[in-house]
């Protein structure tokens, strides 16, 4: 089950988590303090940084399917990460806004190129779909080892080596992953798809280069003009979904029904990641403005590093969830993916319920202890691991092979759309620069916002359960149609 290739890929994944989330956790202060952005604009940029990369997984899936293959796409992605972080180093060193935006634009493009390629290639390192599905949550936890270290340590590193030093560390981690993939090239090509094993034509390299330059330019424009940029995200997301629907109409009835279940799961995933996106936007602002003190009285933690509690719990959640669902399957208790997502919304409702209670009952000192956020992230992290690992595995299990990477990219489309929507929602609690934080603001502004999110999380539990029933019936109908077709062929 485990082998040298999937272990080396998990090292790359951990390096990604350390570098990408290390950058993300210090971006808020970088834009607020060094680049002098206000709260609303900062939340939009950071929210877009977490969202635009997954959006361009649409193009990443197309590139992997048609031009380069998963291995080449993944290798180039890590090189682009390193280059993007180098641009951030230059931007931080010179306080240059365009250079900084160019850096996060290139890193966002790299994430889009990586997102559909990694699970597709990772799956091929296993002997069966069952082994892949059981091990993918563990891979998710390994990614979160890097994310935890990055989010917890980088705010403290920045105090010593500055923002530019933090970006240098990220560039080094991305370079390490790139080198690992290059060294293992022969082994990855052998287990890769047909396109990975064939040489790339000059025409495909040219098409890839032109497409890449266009995407990087578009991302830079979006970061520079967020009002227009958010509409571009909506348009691209809608176009991807409409294209997928057009493929459904061209497919046979069995494949069309299975593709329909992917659309339903994409909608549920979009709703869920609106909540996940709050961690980078509204929750980060709340911790910067209210979280004070050491965790348990002796563990130092910077306010913006509170999001490191998420990957901390994700490291625990991955193996636990893999063990729980494997044990249920051995007892012939097979929950649908949508049912698992419904349980995730239960956990999310609990997490945001705790946050709502905390802000509505804050004292005159306007201080919320780190332990409260540790509890919030416990529930949200378990919910995230279920959705983040199970939905991708579900898509890979039902997607037609010839559009496998593009189908996986719909998961990233969901993250992109939810990231922008969540960032837009978050701006409703943005305060004016240098505005004093009072008990009334925390209780009324923050409290009203998070109580609304808690209510809708409860509503989504019911929607996900209804979706589970619909998906089960669609898959059963698709299997019946496929069996009928096979019988007709044999006759």
Q: How much is the pTM?
A: 0.75
Q: 368 pairs with which residues across the strands?
A: 291
Most confident of 34-48, 125-139, 328-342, 452-466: 452-466
pLDDT in the model for residue 372: 94
Q: Exposure pattern of 190-224 as b/e (b: 16+ CB <10 Å)?
A: ebbbebbeeeeeeeeeeebeeebeebbebbbebbe
Predicted pLDDT of residue 483:
58
Identify the pLDDT of residue 426: 86
Determine the pLDDT at residue 489: 45
Estimate the crossing angle of helix 97-123 against helix 129-183, to 10 degrees. 130
Classify domain 4-490 at the CATH topology level.
Growth Hormone; Chain: A; (1.20.1250)
Q: Ranked by mean pLDDT, which of 247-251, 338-342, 475-479 comes out on top?
A: 338-342
Given a cut of 90, whether residue 456 has pLDDT beyond it is yes
Res 467 pLDDT > 50 = yes
Taking only the tens place, the pLDDT of each residue in 121-152 is 888 888 777 777 677 767 767 777 888 888 88
How confident is residue 476, by pLDDT bands cut at 50, 70 and 90? confident
Place of tokens 């830079």: 220
pLDDT over threshold 90, residue 25:
no
Residues 56-83 have pLDDT tens digits of 777 787 788 888 888 899 999 999 999 9
pLDDT of residue 485: 53
Q: How many CB atoms lie within 10 A of CB 451?
A: 16
Q: What is the pLDDT of residues 156-215, one digit of tens each?
A: 888 889 999 999 999 999 999 999 999 988 888 887 777 888 888 888 889 889 988 988
Mean pLDDT, residues 466-470: 92
CA dihedral 115, 85, 143, 44 (to 10 degrees): -70
- Kindly tell me if the per-residue pLDDT of 453 is higher than 70: yes
pLDDT in tens, 380-410: 999 988 898 788 888 888 888 777 767 877 8
* Residue whose token pair is 């002098």: 36
Better pLDDT: 13 or 226: 13
Contact 28, 159 (CB under 8 A): no
Between 32 and 88, the higher pLDDT residue: 88
What rounded mean pLDDT belongs to the chain?
A: 85
Give me the helix-helix angle, 97-123 and 370-398, nearest 10°.
50
Q: Which residue is listed with tokens 């990772």?
A: 122
- Note the pLDDT of residue 357: 95
- What's the CA gap between 338 and 234, in Å, rounded? 24
SS3 letters for 201-255? CHHHHHHHHHHHHHHHHHHHHHHHCHHHHHHHHHHHHHHHHHHHHHHHHHCCHHH
Q: What is the pLDDT of residues 289-302, one digit of tens each?
A: 899 999 999 899 98
The share of the chain scoring above pLDDT 90, in percent, equals 26
Instruction: State pLDDT tens for residues 250-291.
Output: 888 888 888 889 999 999 999 999 998 888 788 988 998 899
pLDDT, residue 491, reads: 47
Q: Are 380 and 283 in contact (CB under 8 A)?
A: no
| pLDDT exceeds cutoff 60 at 44 | yes
Kindly tell me if the per-residue pLDDT of 36 is higher than 70: yes
Q: What is the pLDDT of residues 77-121, one digit of tens each?
A: 999 999 999 999 999 999 898 899 999 989 988 988 888 788 888
> Tokens representing 364?
């005159």
Q: Sketch the domain layout of the chain as residue ranges.
A: 4-490
């Amino acid at each position: 089950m485990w082998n040298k290739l999937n272990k080396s890929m998990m090292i790359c994944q951990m390096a990604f988590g350390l570098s990408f989330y290390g950058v993300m956790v210090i971006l808020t202060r970088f834009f607020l303090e060094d680049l002098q952005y206000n709260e609303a604009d900062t939340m939009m940029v950071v929210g877009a940084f977490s969202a635009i990369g997954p959006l361009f997984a649409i193009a990443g899936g197309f590139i992997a399917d048609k031009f380069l293959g998963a291995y080449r796409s993944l290798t180039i992605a890590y090189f682009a990460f390193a280059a993007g972080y180098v641009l951030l180093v230059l931007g931080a060193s010179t306080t240059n806004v365009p250079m900084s935006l160019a850096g996060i634009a290139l890193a966002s493009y790299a994430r889009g190129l990586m997102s559909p390629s990694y699970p597709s290639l990772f799956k091929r390192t296993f002997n069966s779909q069952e082994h892949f599905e059981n091990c993918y949550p563990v891979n998710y936890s390994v990614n979160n080892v890097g994310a935890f270290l990055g989010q917890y340590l980088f705010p403290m590193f920045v105090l010593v080596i500055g923002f530019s030093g933090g970006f240098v560390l990220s560039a080094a981690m991305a370079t390490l992953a790139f080198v690992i993939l290059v060294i293992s090239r022969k082994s990855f090509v052998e287990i890769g798809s047909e396109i990975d094993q064939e040489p790339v034509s000059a025409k495909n390299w040219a098409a890839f280069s032109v497409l890449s330059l266009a995407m990087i330019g578009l991302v830079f424009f979006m970061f520079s003009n967020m009002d227009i940029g958010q509409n571009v995200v909506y348009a691209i997301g809608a176009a991807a979904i409409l294209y997928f629907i057009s493929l459904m109409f061209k497919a046979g009835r069995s494949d069309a029904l299975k593709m329909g279940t992917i659309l339903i799961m994409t909608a549920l995933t979009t709703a869920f990641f609106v909540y996940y996106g709050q961690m980078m936007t509204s929750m980060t602002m709340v911790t910067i403005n209210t979280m004070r003190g050491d965790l348990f009285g002796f563990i130092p933690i910077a306010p913006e590093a509170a999001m490191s509690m998420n990957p901390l719990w994700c490291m625990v959640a991955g193996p636990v969830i893999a063990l729980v669902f494997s044990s249920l399957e051995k007892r012939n208790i097979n929950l649908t993916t949508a049912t698992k997502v419904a349980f995730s919304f239960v956990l999310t409702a609990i997490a945001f319920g705790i946050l709502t209670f905390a802000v509505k009952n804050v004292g005159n000192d306007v201080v919320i202890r780190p332990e409260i956020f540790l509890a919030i992230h416990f529930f949200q992290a378990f919910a995230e691991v279920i959705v983040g690992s199970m939905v991708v595995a579900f898509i890979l299990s039902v997607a037609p092979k010839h559009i496998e990477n593009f189908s996986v990219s719909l998961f990233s489309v969901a993250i992109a759309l939810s990231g922008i929507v969540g960032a837009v929602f978050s701006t409703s609690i943005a305060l004016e620069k240098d505005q004093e934080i009072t008990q009334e603001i925390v209780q009324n502004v923050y409290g009203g916002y998070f109580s609304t999110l808690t209510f809708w999380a409860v509503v989504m539990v019911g929607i996900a359960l209804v979706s589970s029933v619909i998906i089960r019936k669609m898959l059963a109908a698709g299997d019946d149609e496929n069996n009928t077709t096979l019988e007709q062929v044999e006759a």
